[in-house]
Structure formats: C-alpha cells, structure tokens
Structure 1
Amino acid sequence: MFSRLLLLFIFVPVIELGIFLWIGERLRLLNTLAIILFTGVLGAALTKSQGLRVLNDFRKSTASGQLPHAAIVEGLIILVAGALLLTPGFLTDAVGFLALVPAVRSKLRKALTQYLSTRIKIITPNGPSGGNRPRRSKPLDDDNVIDV
C-alpha cells in the first residue's frame, strides 16, 4: 500500500507538471493560470452544490429511519472530488469533475461499496453478519470489545 501511495505522489505531480508545460506553451502563462483559477472556483461551487444535495439525501434517509450508507459514500466521493478540484492541475481537475457527474459517482459508489464490503466485517450479537444464528450464551462485552 505504501509503495502505491509513493508512486501516486511521485507520478501525479510529474504528469501534472508535464501537462502544465505543454498547455503553457500553447496558451501562454496568463491563460493557463486563468484556466486553473476558473476550474478551482467552478469546482468549489459544484462541490458545494453536490455536497448539499447529498446532505439533503442523508437527512431524508435518517428521517425515514433508513441507514444513510449511500449518502455517506457519495459524500466521501464528493469530498475527494472537491480536494482534487482545489488542487492545481489539469489531470486532477479532470478526475475531480468526473467524480462530480452523478452517473459516474453512482458507479464509483457501487464499486467502493463492493470493495468495502469485502474489507469490513460486521459483528453483531448474533454473530458475524447477523443472520438467524442463535444468540451467544456469553455476553458480547467480554473485555475484548471496545463499545463505541
């Protein structure tokens, strides 16, 4: 995992720098900086509007007594998209804008949910993943569990 992050933090800035130089040669410095500023402002506005929409979905889910897991995952994707859009760069902006498109975000949410469901184990008083298993005779809080 560390090596993947290291490669990400090395290659993304190098690619961004190459794109900056390539676009800067064609559009000149001021136009390139104007594009960067414009995408940052537009990205912040889109992130805010999409985030408020997801917050509204979260509130509706909780008000109706449902778990807001989809809204939470979408909020996480929007948070990452906003960070990418505020980061100066054309590649990060492209990925950030893609993540704000509802159809793309829905596919990302499904993929992330699928990934997380294989990585997270839910333990209930009835055993792993709930089900119709008989209740434990031993209490769940046996000093090996931290109740949060």
Structure 2
Amino acid sequence: MRNLFLLFAIMPIVEIALLVQVGGIIGGWNTIALVLISAFVGAYFVRREGVHTLTTAQQKMQSNQIPGQELLEGLMLLVAGVLLVTPGFITDIFGLALVLPPSRKYIAKKLKKHLSMHVVSGSAFQSQQYYHSSAQAPDKDEDIIEGEYQEKSDTNKPKRLD
C-alpha cells in the first residue's frame, strides 16, 4: 500500500519534470503534439489488441476452455489504455509495453504464475469443508447451532452393580 502511494505521489512529479525537459529541447507545442499523438496511437493499439484478445477468449469459451490468459491480458490492456492516455512519456513507455503482444504475453505469464502462488481457488476451499455425516451438506435455510457439551454423572447416587 505504501509503495502504491509513493508511485502516485512521485510519478506525476517525474512526468512533469520530463515533460519540461523535453519541452525545453523540442519546444512546448511540439511536446504537446507528441503527447497527443502518443495518446491517439495508444488508443488505436489498445482497441485493436483488445478486439483480438476478446475474439481469442470467445473462441476458447466456445471450445469449453477457461480463457484465463486472455482475461489477464484484457486487464493488462485496460491498464495500458489508461497509461497511454495519461499525459507523459514514462507512462507511455509502460503502456506500450503492455500493448505490444510479445511483451504483454511475457508479463501476463509472469503475473499469472505470481498470482497462482498467492490465490487460493474456491474449489480447494470447498473440498476441505467438514460435515458431520456422510449425507449431503445441510440446507442453507436450516438453522445450525454449534456448541460443546460434557456429560456429567451424578456423584451422589450410588452405582448399582448387577
């Protein structure tokens, strides 16, 4: 969380400093034009790659496969779109890395591997549930009362031995 705050606090400062540097070298209007061109070109590439990823995901779903890689790439394209439309050159570089298919697939594989080690799937959780009988799980509408009990014998009464 702290790293995210630092990213949002420091990144705009670095972007503005870089824009001022580039503006001093090529001129203010040329810098603005370059930022606008990168936003339009980035939006075009995000749309094109997004349609391609969506088509691939639909094909996988039609063949009864889970489109996990495509969903992750779609999320990355969404982030890339935000980065490319945001004014600045550093965000454009990161956005372009997420838009280009080879780098996006590489980053998605690494991210998928990282996430699979940290996320517990719902089916793994359900398989570890414990029920008191071999019958089916209790109904959702049924009241369940949990508790402990201990059997105590009456010590005042003598026990009969037969």
Smaller-chain TM-score range? 0.7 to 0.9
The change in CA–CA distance for 1:108 and 1:141 in structure 2 (over 3 A counts) is farther
In structure 2, give the amino acid aligned to 1:94: I
Q: Does 1:124 align with 2:123?
A: yes
The structure with the largest alpha-carbon Rg is 2
SS in 2 for 1:124: helix
Match for residue 102 of structure 2?
Answer: 103
Match for residue 38 of structure 1?
Answer: 37
> Which residues of structure 2 form unaligned runs of 5+?
142-162
For residues 21-71 of structure 1, what are the alpha-carbon distances to aligned partners after superposition, in whole Å with 9 as ceiling and x for unaligned? 100000111100000010000000000000000000011000111001011
In structure 2, give the amino acid aligned to 1:139: A
> Which residues of structure 1 form unaligned runs of 5+?
129-135, 144-148
The alignment covers a number of residue pairs equal to 135
Post-superposition shift, 1:140? 8.2
Aligned-partner Cα distance in 2 for 1:77–1:55:
13
**Identity of matched residues, %:** 33
Structure 1 length-normalised TM: 0.84
SS in 2 for 1:25: helix
The change in CA–CA distance for 1:141 and 1:34 in structure 2 (over 3 A counts) is farther
Let me know the Cα RMSD of the aligned residues. 2.0
Post-superposition shift, 1:10? 1.0
Match for residue 139 of structure 1?
Answer: 137
In structure 1, give the amino acid aligned to 2:127: G
